[in-house]
A = this chain, B = another copy of it.
Amino acid sequence: MSGHVAVIGLGPGNAAQVTPEANAAVAGAKWFYGYGPYVDRLELRPDQIRVASDNREEISRAQAALEKAAQGERVAVVSGGDPGVFAMAAAVCEAIEAGPPEWRDLDVTVVPGVTAMLAVAARIGAPLGHDFCAMSLSDNLKPWDVIEKRLDAAAGAGFVIALYNPISKARPWQLGKAFERLRAILPETTPVIFGRAAGRPDERMEVQPLGKADAAQADMATCVIIGSAETRIIDRGEKPSLVYTPRFLAAAP
Which residues of A are at the interface with B, using a C-beta cutoff of 8 A?
9, 11, 14-21, 24, 58, 82-87, 89-94, 96-97, 104-105, 107-108, 110-115, 118-119, 121-123, 125-136, 141-143, 146, 149-150, 152-154, 156-159, 232, 234-237, 239, 242, 244-249, 251-252
- Contact: A11 with B19, CB < 8 Å? yes
Oligomer copy total: 2
Residue of B with least CB distance to A92: B126
User: Shortest CB–CB separation between residue A84 and chain B, in angstroms?
Assistant: 4
- Contact: A83 with B244, CB < 8 Å? no
A24 to B125, CA, bound (A): 19
A242 to B109, CA, bound (A): 10
- Contact: A236 with B85, CB < 8 Å? no
- Contact: A132 with B129, CB < 8 Å? no
Residues on B with C-beta less than 8 A from A248 are 141-142
- On whether A93 and B244 interact (CB within 8 A), knowing A16-B20, A122-B84, A126-B110, the answer reads yes
